Structure 1
């Protein structure tokens, strides 16, 4: 009610039990007024005692309706409704789904609050007494809700203002005394706040789950994109490879046809030479035969005898009985050519695919100076490491190797595949590979997978070993000038290559830690082993190999 109103104050018409405007006001014999329902409920608990003055009655008094007060209350309600109606144009009518004011008549305005004590929802105008009247201020207000009657105790018709933690249910004040005497209670608002906080945590957890799933969606989308990119690359490589294969097969066919035609031409040339010689001899023999026929005709005896001596000797001729043209054998040439081509293609494709498979996972590795042993010198670009006799003065941080002349790569890897190459040309001793990021770097170290090392080494210029614990001696057909290191983290694989040829593989490894490239140029041995280890750029140059043959 506004301060300037001429109608009586609402405080004059409030029941001292429910603290609301009287409903069916009655008067006790001691002169106090109450709602009829309120005093009857009170006497159910405290019989024959006035809640205001504590006057006791020998028998339950007969309550009489206070007619004057009833009329005054009715007048007050009418004036309040008229005032509410006059201000309704300034407030919003309740829309479908919104809680309407329970007091408004005619157009129901949107409720701003619901009272848990009055079990009534109020618009702005009808809420005013709860904001100004001292006794109503103690009422518990909440966001407007419908069906406030559900907040009454079905047994005692009292507001459900307590929460029984023992039975996990809402109870009224009488329930706490009669039915739940030994139970644990808290005010409804306290339990509400606690449950609301718990719900907030649950909601936060759900939001976190939603965020994780959204991130998972993005991860899956990225995986699909990576797969598509990989498919496009493989398709392009496949087209290039098969184009090279077709060209190589065509070259093999051309070479086969050329060899067959060369053999045939040689045979034809030989036959033509024999035929020419035979035709020359035939021509000579025909000429002689003609001469002999002329001599056989009647001629003078003197002329015959003179000519006969020159014709008597047989002309010089070759015995052609054993002479023949032997056709070359073409049988099996095609099969042999195909077999040779197949072997060549197989060897080349093995090298091609193996090399391309690993080289496309090439990574850019640089050396980490914070891990370098004091005897190890690094180049400015972080790509070379060599041993020097003079020990440098460096801070002994936890990352640095203290006894073994080694250095790690800056980059670490905990998933996927990666590949790098190291030039070892000119060195007599070295060790390369990958290690756990958490390896011990102080004192003596044992190069073994058991201690987090997967390495290959050269000692005494020709002795190659895989440090598998115990070491495995290796016999190489050719000494590598460059060593490639390939790691498949998920498959637990570490492989070492000499160009395209596999040197050794650690298989069945179980990686849980980050992996880092490992390099040890070994002592320089008075200059004999002074060449540096050099991290080389990886060139994908094998794709044109078949085309270049």
Structure 2
């Protein structure tokens, strides 16, 4: 029998009860064939002997004999079907780990081609064939192979989950839609699947975008680390060079100090040696004269004694040593003078270091302008927003939340919430002023207590010569000269606020270890004009930048 004829007659060899190839086929008196076991079980479970195909009723249970000829045909069909299955399965793939295997295959499990939601079974290509050809099985619902088919059945009604309840956001069967969820909104699983799939596509795109952003952030962080390492290496090299020079200077000063002291001691010792040598020479002469006198005094020769007496009576010529002395060398002030000289050398070196540091912070210069919406009504601002002083008349201005109502203060327009910035202010001819930065959230409607705890990092001048850092506690500042131009530098992440005397290239004061959690604004207070004594303005001036490479602005106009 050919493969084509086998396919055409395949339904003839299937039992209409079990829908599988006949096993021990028997024929009923009405001429229909069944598996012997299938028809017996069917009649044993029913009250009458009814043919499942033509519905003919038999009064007594017919005697069923195996149809020998038909049984041989079924046997032949089985052999040909097995050969066909063997031939076709040779082209199929075995199920891989993690794949869905055929539930019917024995031995090597082939890869499932479809899963049946009615049979709750997955089939390879060969075992799927009855679902494609048998009339009773063609109505079964097939889908791409999946595992855990039981999870696709309604636990309550034992029906396939075919609908999606949008109200409860869950999958339901047909009976659920008319019983438990009858007032809810439903859509077919496929429709909801398409919608959710589109959402997943969008989510996937968003995730990929997030991944890309994070990769870029990793590159940015690595680049920052490289920049930091380069800066650290340069700083270490410069630090080593500076400290070696300082150590050499200290060593040189120490050697000079020791040489000075030892030279004084050598001078004292030389003077003492000269005196001692001269004294010993006189002692030698005196001893010689003493010996001659003693010898003459024992002489019995009258004439000899009288003749030599005149020459021995007078003492030999000697030096008057009464006022002669060797004074110990004085070393008072020697060490002090040496240290003072060293201090002068270190001071010159410190000035050079501060010049370098000032050039570095000037790279972060910000074009700060004053914010008129924050200015106290007594303050007068220039049109370009670069100058401010206190007038005698209170202007009629809107009392907006940003305005300083009580203190003669004003904010800059530019804010800082990360990174660094720097600006410079002329304070020449003023007797009172306050400069620095402040938190955005400070209370601008009350008298200000300027300290870090209240959100201020500032320094001030009072009475023309009293400088003070408004830290906690405040710090009196002893400055060598009165600053004419003050530089203000902020490193947000480092928690650093530093003030510089720009002309002297000297550090005035630094707030360190600060914790910034919100925006910072430049803060200016020209103070009251004191009858014209303090009428000069605070002037935000351009920064004379000598090193501009790698400039980084981390501020923005609000």
- The number of equivalent residue pairs is 488
Quote the residue 2:294 is aligned against: none
Quote the residue 1:94 is aligned against: 94
Structure 1 pair 145–529 and aligned structure 2 pair: CA distance change class (3 A): closer
Structure 1 pair 435–530 and aligned structure 2 pair: CA distance change class (3 A): closer
Displacement after TM superposition at 1:319 (Å): 1.6
The answer on 1:512 being equivalent to 2:517 is: yes
Quote the residue 1:247 is aligned against: 248
Structure 1 pair 37–256 and aligned structure 2 pair: CA distance change class (3 A): farther
In structure 1, how many angstroms separate the alpha carbons of the residues matched to 2:232 and 2:84?
77
Match of residue 438, structure 2, among 435, 438, 463: 435
- 1:191-202 to structure 2, matched below 5 A, reads none
Quote the residue 2:367 is aligned against: 367
Structure 1 pair 485–523 and aligned structure 2 pair: CA distance change class (3 A): same
Quote the residue 1:320 is aligned against: 321
Quote the residue 2:459 is aligned against: 456
Contact 1:423 1:483 in 2 (8 A): yes
1:64-108: per-residue Cα shift (whole Å, max 9, x none)? 79958877776666555544555556x343265365656789997
The answer on 1:422 being equivalent to 2:424 is: yes
Structure 1 pair 74–494 and aligned structure 2 pair: CA distance change class (3 A): farther
Quote the residue 2:393 is aligned against: none
Match of residue 416, structure 2, among 401, 412, 417: 412
1:86-132: per-residue Cα shift (whole Å, max 9, x none)? 5556x343265365656789997543223343424122x66466568
In structure 2, how many angstroms separate the alpha carbons of the residues matched to 1:518 and 1:57?
107
Secondary structure in 1 matching 2:261: helix
1:480-526: per-residue Cα shift (whole Å, max 9, x none)? 345454657578665546666564748775x3223344456789989
Contact 1:370 1:400 in 2 (8 A): no
Displacement after TM superposition at 1:454 (Å): 3.4
In structure 1, how many angstroms separate the alpha carbons of the residues matched to 2:411 and 2:26?
98
In structure 2, how many angstroms separate the alpha carbons of the residues matched to 1:136 and 1:328?
126
Quote the residue 1:263 is aligned against: 264
Match of residue 122, structure 1, among 124, 127, 147: 124
TM-score with structure 1 length normalisation? 0.54
Displacement after TM superposition at 1:260 (Å): 1.6
In structure 1, how many angstroms separate the alpha carbons of the residues matched to 2:463 and 2:427?
14
Structure 1 pair 426–34 and aligned structure 2 pair: CA distance change class (3 A): farther
In structure 1, how many angstroms separate the alpha carbons of the residues matched to 2:341 and 2:39?
106
In structure 1, how many angstroms separate the alpha carbons of the residues matched to 2:369 and 2:498?
26
Contact 1:111 1:121 in 2 (8 A): yes
Displacement after TM superposition at 1:247 (Å): 0.8
Secondary structure in 2 matching 1:256: helix
Structure 1 pair 521–121 and aligned structure 2 pair: CA distance change class (3 A): farther
Displacement after TM superposition at 1:246 (Å): 2.5
The answer on 1:529 being equivalent to 2:537 is: yes
Secondary structure in 2 matching 1:432: strand
The answer on 1:141 being equivalent to 2:142 is: yes
Structure 1 pair 252–183 and aligned structure 2 pair: CA distance change class (3 A): same
- 1:276-315 to structure 2, matched below 5 A, reads none
Structure 2, gaps ≥5 residues long:
165-170, 290-306, 374-379, 391-397, 548-558
Contact 1:94 1:109 in 2 (8 A): yes
Displacement after TM superposition at 1:323 (Å): 0.9
Displacement after TM superposition at 1:328 (Å): 2.0
Contact 1:93 1:110 in 2 (8 A): yes
Contact 2:469 2:477 in 1 (8 A): no
Secondary structure in 1 matching 2:115: strand
Displacement after TM superposition at 1:359 (Å): 7.4
Secondary structure in 1 matching 2:93: coil
Contact 2:382 2:388 in 1 (8 A): yes
Structure 1 pair 515–139 and aligned structure 2 pair: CA distance change class (3 A): farther
In structure 2, how many angstroms separate the alpha carbons of the residues matched to 1:280 and 1:127?
139
Contact 2:433 2:525 in 1 (8 A): yes
1:450-478: per-residue Cα shift (whole Å, max 9, x none)? 8754333446644556668xx98764322
Displacement after TM superposition at 1:141 (Å): 3.1
Contact 1:19 1:136 in 2 (8 A): no
TM-score with structure 2 length normalisation? 0.54
In structure 2, how many angstroms separate the alpha carbons of the residues matched to 1:111 and 1:512?
60
